[in-house]
Structure 1
């Protein structure tokens, strides 16, 4: 057996896992770990903030389906990852995060950057609620087994981040160890659904007159796009994904009808709320997706009969009662359902099919409503800016977005045509996510164009990661739609309390950032600002064709609430009446 240090064990195990990149920032608590990567095939990427490291790994996993490894030092370097790790956890995105920890003989002594007042070396308690598992390795000989378990947990079942706390002396200690083969510790199959439940669900779908299929993020994680499309085409059922499943079916497919929920399409909400059978696959039914569970707005379950498929039994029936609940992998179960339905009925045609005709009419009406927003007014709407982004971007290009008005417009209005080409934070709704996630997405898909559409407020949260892309020459395109402030929240405050109660500072001429100068200061190779919409497509085409990072600021309307999403559903937070002070 070879004699290896803890850092070397980690490096060699990552190689066996096929991990391409280790992303993080060096610190005194990670020097022994990092030194081992001087002789490793794993490339080290250095962002400018540990939150950016986690978002970068997140974007990589969403675009590739494979995990990346993150490393940090002890103390604030470790705590800086929390927002990024929580973002990944809520959306079930795999990664393994290595953090430095006190030397084992100094645990509880309050050494530099130790959290010790509740328990010695207590940072794992911070990570516990936002990871699938958190390990502390107090002996170098246990490290290989812990690594195997960490990756096994991260990528199997419902994926998610896993944390490994590695004391500084364990990183540097040496032991005679064998590096385990990951293939020997993985299940070689995916769990299918119970045959009786599959038969019951297939009966419901075969007899349904108005079925809808609602794929969630679990379908994207399970790579179930072919299965979803095959089943939809057999039933001629409209596909109404969640935003985490955007791209599961091409958005120019005749059965795609947009999305349900607060910022869903009119077509998606109407068809979902009037379905007799709803097949939800890997879907959480969140508040934004369901119009805060208001009956008949986005869904009405019951009387709609719900078939709920998920690999996590905690999600089945959590927010709506099920007619049939099926525990299993989205790809396997959807294939089982397709086979079951195919045994019961022939593929449904489109001729003399009133339901299919309704689907086409409702989608055409929605498309017309979206296109009405693509005017050449100055300043332009975010919708108009996105129309130019779509025109300039390759069909298989990746679009990335963070929380706020750009995301609220991109997700429902920006068409994508392939799986894993929409990278957007979901349930944690994290500002600044896309700045770094786009770098990870480009590392995962180096042959495809990648554009991050950011609001100015969101961009400022993680703008330092532009320097990471420049340093490593990663060809990412940033498009900052500048409406001079945090306008999603400003509009919410106005709607609830009126203009005179707004506590939300706008970024005016005196306080706003000159984003062009900022990008130039980061040494971005292509930088421009666009005001007139007729100039935007040409500018973006040049930016996307530039070999290296590019940055385009687009000036959009600052005060029109409709510069963000088209509101078609409901959301409790937007509708709550203010409480009168007594």
Structure 2
């Protein structure tokens, strides 16, 4: 036992837990901790963006790529409040982030000190942050810090990972106490619960008895790093694989068994396979409204007519939207390994068993490919969205990391992008927070400095967090931003056009009485910040510009003028009650 400052205890514990990055913004409440971190700056790197929301998105991106958690650091009051949206994104997409927030000193609790929330409870920031974290701890003495940090790390990294908050009165950073060390609490990837032998045997029975099976995978497969096991199972039984956005890349999407994304903007063959399947094995997926066509029977899925095995590490997701015929509480990788082991002792059906199913899917894939084929290689101006996705797929290396923001551009990449590797496609899916994409790519690059990291972001989303340019230059983080410039909140404008008779209000970016399209000169904005800036208006220029931006190996931004009047072809549905949902543009719902 040694006498140490609270700030020293926190710093030492972060390093002991394997955390090597803190994304934080300074304030009067955390200068005491910053001073302690200074002593170990070679082991614990502080990266300070210009806004707390971006700090959380950077930590989120860092975790999604490396599966190693990072910490964030904010000061009392507004600084901590600024991170709420980022934490909501991390929570809904299951990213482990340790959010360290400062609060007023214990001696000033309930006195209405500077930036204290005290109308309902003293130092009451916990109640602000609780809905967006797995747990919020508020140690009030230095002696409480080691246990709180161990429990925070344990909560953050076990089961379904997610953000956890340590809200610390700032006097604790400089006060001293004699405290024992706690063992490490972080356990990501170490505690992998499996299924019962009975459930594994029954699941195999159902798989071998199915005539039209599909695998539906979500972020749980990515988080469990179960890609090899997933691929082995799919190949062993010749079962096609449908992906949610955060599961994309867990299996190489160039694999013939990969059908792509499902839902409103999914691939036709994925939706049609989901409609016609007689068994769905869902692993680490949660059947949200966008990947289930708002749960409308016959549009993406046909439960309960279709049998469902639902495997998840979070019991709250099993049966939330569809009651499974076989619910299994288990880690994705453990379960898939158990299934593969069970198959070793089984007599497998003849390979011809699923040939008819495979032929049906091949036919649907050919229909979809033929439908979209005329759009590739478009020379139209403004640039076709098809051309942007197409050129990115050609230019970027297979191990490139892509971050997508919220917006219409995201729909295009959900439908047509083929992720080649796991942990290579970062989506703000569950909470869909704008600003995630341009910010998280910075954390992704710090986690994977040898990989090409590109943010595809809308003009609206980028304008929310333009200060990411400053951070990239300040810390020499060579990422590329591709700004999808359609002069509008395009996804919402399209809803107005589709549901309200073509009336547009508040969604187009215009200037003056004549409604001239307006946006800042993004390339000039980038150059003003010290970032290489390009503007692309001709389709033939985009690929070469993207190649040059990558070759520079410095922060770069490409402003791409994209046609706002070409929309991704809906193959499923999405309901906005009480509005009547639109029917698919290609393909029709099917009910047994």
> TM-score when scaled to structure 2?
0.94
Q: Deviations over 1:455-509 (max 9, x none)?
A: 1011111111121111000011100010001010011012111233634242455
1:59, distance to aligned residue in structure 2 (A): 0.6
**Quick check: 175-184 or 440-449, which moved more?**
175-184
For 2:208 and 2:353, the matched residues in 1 are separated by 18
- What is the match of residue 494 of structure 2? 491
- What is the match of residue 76 of structure 1? 78
8 Å contact 1:236–1:348 — kept in the other structure?
A: no
Q: Which of the numbers 312, 315, 323 marks the counterpart of 1:313?
A: 315
Alignment of 1:357 with 2:359, yes or no, is yes
- What is the match of residue 240 of structure 1? 242
Alignment of 1:284 with 2:290, yes or no, is no
Q: Deviations over 1:253-307 (max 9, x none)?
A: 0100112111111000000111111000111101111101111110001111000
Q: Deviations over 1:325-367 (max 9, x none)?
A: 0011111011112222343343764798222233333233333
8 Å contact 1:5–1:173 — kept in the other structure?
A: yes
Q: Deviations over 1:513-542 (max 9, x none)?
A: 111111011110x21111111111111001
Alignment of 1:516 with 2:518, yes or no, is no
**Quick check: 383-392 or 309-318, which moved more?**
383-392
> What do you get for the CA RMSD once the two structures are aligned?
1.8
Q: Which of the numbers 54, 58, 64 marks the counterpart of 1:62?
A: 64
Q: Deviations over 1:135-182 (max 9, x none)?
A: 001001110111111011101001000000011101111122233231
Change in 2 beyond 3 A, CA 1:485/1:81 = same
For 1:322 and 1:409, the matched residues in 2 are separated by 31
Alignment of 1:230 with 2:232, yes or no, is yes
- What is the match of residue 137 of structure 1? 139
Q: Deviations over 1:436-461 (max 9, x none)?
A: 10001111111100000011011111
- What is the match of residue 337 of structure 1? 339
Q: Which of the numbers 516, 541, 547 marks the counterpart of 1:541?
A: 547
- Size of the aligned set, in residue pairs, is 574
Write the mapping of 1:246-265 to structure 2, written as runs, cut at 5 A: 246-265=248-267
For 1:6 and 1:456, the matched residues in 2 are separated by 43
Write the mapping of 1:435-474 to structure 2, written as runs, cut at 5 A: 435-474=438-477
Structure 2: stretches of 5+ with no match in the other structure = 582-592
For 2:332 and 2:556, the matched residues in 1 are separated by 38
8 Å contact 2:493–2:504 — kept in the other structure?
A: no
For 2:227 and 2:510, the matched residues in 1 are separated by 42
- What is the match of residue 386 of structure 1? 389
Secondary structure at the aligned position of 1:454 is classed as: strand
8 Å contact 1:137–1:146 — kept in the other structure?
A: yes
For 1:65 and 1:52, the matched residues in 2 are separated by 19
1:377, distance to aligned residue in structure 2 (A): 0.7
8 Å contact 2:480–2:557 — kept in the other structure?
A: yes
Secondary structure at the aligned position of 1:372 is classed as: helix
> TM-score when scaled to structure 1?
0.95
Change in 2 beyond 3 A, CA 1:102/1:384 = same
For 2:195 and 2:372, the matched residues in 1 are separated by 39
- What is the match of residue 159 of structure 1? 161
For 2:312 and 2:29, the matched residues in 1 are separated by 40
1:510, distance to aligned residue in structure 2 (A): 6.7
Alignment of 1:477 with 2:480, yes or no, is yes
For 1:73 and 1:63, the matched residues in 2 are separated by 27
Secondary structure at the aligned position of 1:257 is classed as: strand
For 2:68 and 2:451, the matched residues in 1 are separated by 17
- What is the match of residue 585 of structure 2? none
Change in 2 beyond 3 A, CA 1:352/1:257 = closer
1:187, distance to aligned residue in structure 2 (A): 9.3
- What is the match of residue 421 of structure 2? 418
Write the mapping of 1:201-220 to structure 2, written as runs, cut at 5 A: 201-220=203-222
8 Å contact 1:132–1:160 — kept in the other structure?
A: yes
1:123, distance to aligned residue in structure 2 (A): 0.7
Change in 2 beyond 3 A, CA 1:43/1:370 = farther
For 1:546 and 1:16, the matched residues in 2 are separated by 36
- What is the match of residue 586 of structure 2? none
For 1:335 and 1:361, the matched residues in 2 are separated by 32
For 2:165 and 2:547, the matched residues in 1 are separated by 41
**Quick check: 122-131 or 349-358, which moved more?**
349-358
8 Å contact 2:152–2:185 — kept in the other structure?
A: no
1:208, distance to aligned residue in structure 2 (A): 0.7
Structure 1: stretches of 5+ with no match in the other structure = none
Alignment of 1:528 with 2:531, yes or no, is no
- What is the match of residue 32 of structure 1? 32
Alignment of 1:576 with 2:579, yes or no, is yes
8 Å contact 2:76–2:115 — kept in the other structure?
A: yes
8 Å contact 1:435–1:462 — kept in the other structure?
A: yes
Q: Which runs of 4+ in 1 moved over 6 A?
A: 183-187
For 1:300 and 1:268, the matched residues in 2 are separated by 13
For 1:361 and 1:179, the matched residues in 2 are separated by 62
Q: Which of the numbers 547, 550, 554 marks the counterpart of 2:560?
A: 554
Secondary structure at the aligned position of 1:429 is classed as: coil
Secondary structure at the aligned position of 1:240 is classed as: strand
Q: Which of the numbers 121, 124, 127 marks the counterpart of 1:122?
A: 124
8 Å contact 2:29–2:76 — kept in the other structure?
A: yes
For 1:123 and 1:328, the matched residues in 2 are separated by 34
Secondary structure at the aligned position of 1:569 is classed as: coil
